Amino acid sequence: MPTKPLRVLVLGGTGEARCLAERLVADERISVITSLAGVTREPRSFAGALRTGGFGGAKGLQTFVVDERIDLLIDAAHPFAAQISANAAKASRGSGIQCLRLERPPWELQEGDRLTNVPDVQAAADAIPRGARAFVTVGRQDVAAFLVREDISVVARMIEPPDVAVPDHAEIILARPPFALADEKALMETKGISVLVAKNSGGTATEAKIVAARELSLQVIMVVRPEKPPVPTAADVDEMVDLIEGELG
Ligand code: NAP
């Protein structure tokens, strides 16, 4: 008689979550549900089942994993999505269902970098020198703190338009990663950028802007990652698939 498939809930919001779902769906011993917050209005397609929207805090997530008879919870949220990771760790403790995290390593400082690390997005906005032309790549949910600075000019890139009004001293570029190094350099040069603002997201899809800023000797203001609760963590999809296969025995 066939054994029951391992039921996996993947907390998504990253390219890695999409890749992981695709890999797991191909394994008939595993059944996958991916969960998205619903902040991106037109997300890319996903392999396996998809659910969208908040759970209603850690308790709501715990209820969901128990009701859906989830065997394994995978936190593959963005490194800066601290709340859902905290909720996942709590729901795991409350339900006894194991939580694993898929999180790419941060970018490391390299020779030639003109880097200022800051603890959060507001500190990044405060750190931009007066008169600067800033290339802001923190995402639409966090762009407001930069748009209110009237003593700088802003080029802000994001996947979908912001919910806040865009003042005259700011320009919005809508684009989805990955980005190529030559394009990033050309963009920074043609827009006359003097400062790059980025979250330390890590990974290859958006790394070219960091390399471009290094090669153009631009100042980089980097928001460091928030702390997340300690759970067993894989640095990439291959490593996570190995961990999950370990669960299958
Ligand atoms: P967050 O602050 O950690 O989470 C806020 C709330 O959104 C959570 O409490 C939860 O609501 C809901 N939520 C978040 N991720 C969810 C998921 N995968 N499935 C269902 N509900 C989820 O997250 P955020 O920073 O707003 O990011 C939202 C989404 O965008 C995440 O999926 C994240 O991976 C992705 N993302 C974030 C960033 C970033 O820089 N923050 C960048 C790229 C992508 P309830 O408490 O009601 O369950």
Tell me the angle at which helices 57-67 and 82-95 cross, rounded to the nearest 10 degrees: 50
Distance, CA 223 to ligand 1 centroid (Å)?
18
Q: What is the mean pLDDT of residues 125-136?
A: 98
Same domain, 215 and 232: no
Distance, CA 70 to ligand 1 centroid (Å)?
20
Nearest to 189, CA basis, from 149, 217, 169, 228: 217
pLDDT bucket at 8, cuts 50 / 70 / 90: very high
Same domain, 181 and 130: yes
Measured between its terminal Cα atoms, the distance across the chain in Å is 18
**Given the CA of residue 83, which atom of ligand 1 is nearest to it?**
3
Spatial separation of the C-alpha atoms in residues 166 and 152, rounded to whole Å: 14
Q: What is the pLDDT of residues 62-81, one digit of tens each?
A: 999 999 999 999 999 999 99
Q: Is 70 exceeded by the pLDDT of residue 195?
A: yes
Same domain, 29 and 124: no
Overall number of domains in the chain: 2
Same domain, 121 and 192: yes
Q: Indicate the top mutation candidate among 10, 11, 78 to test ligand 1's pocket, ranked by most ligand atoms within 8 A of CB.
A: 78
Q: Confirm whether 1 is domain-assigned.
A: no
Tokens of 74: 């995978």
- Range of 232's domain? 6-105+227-248
Same domain, 206 and 156: yes
Same domain, 88 and 148: no
Q: Is 70 exceeded by the pLDDT of residue 217?
A: yes
pLDDT bucket at 2, cuts 50 / 70 / 90: low
Q: Confirm whether 190 is domain-assigned.
A: yes
Q: What is the mean pLDDT of residues 206-234?
A: 97
188: three-class secondary structure by DSSP: helix
- What pLDDT does residue 39 have? 84
- What pLDDT does residue 43 have? 75
Q: Is 80 exceeded by the pLDDT of residue 1?
A: no
Pairing of β 170-174 and β 153-158: parallel
Distance, CA 83 to ligand 1 centroid (Å)?
7
Q: Is 60 exceeded by the pLDDT of residue 150?
A: yes
Please indicate whether residue 125, judged by its CB atom, sits closer than 6 Å to ligand 1. no
Q: Confirm whether 150 is domain-assigned.
A: yes
Long-range contacts of 169-178 (CB under 8 A, 24+ apart): 170/146, 177/15, 177/205, 177/206, 178/204, 178/205, 178/206, 178/208
**Given the CA of residue 76, which atom of ligand 1 is nearest to it?**
34
Q: What is the pLDDT of residues 157-168, one digit of tens each?
A: 999 999 999 999
Q: Confirm whether 79 is domain-assigned.
A: yes
Same domain, 155 and 202: yes
Q: Is 50 exceeded by the pLDDT of residue 145?
A: yes
pLDDT bucket at 25, cuts 50 / 70 / 90: very high
Q: What is the pLDDT of residues 28-62, one digit of tens each?
A: 999 999 999 998 777 778 889 999 999 999 999 99
Percent of the residues in the chain that have a pLDDT greater than 90, as a whole number: 91
Please indicate whether residue 34, judged by its CB atom, sits closer than 6 Å to ligand 1. no
Which CATH number does the domain housing residue 34 bear? 3.40.50.720
Spatial separation of the C-alpha atoms in residues 186 and 193, rounded to whole Å: 10
Q: Is 50 exceeded by the pLDDT of residue 24?
A: yes
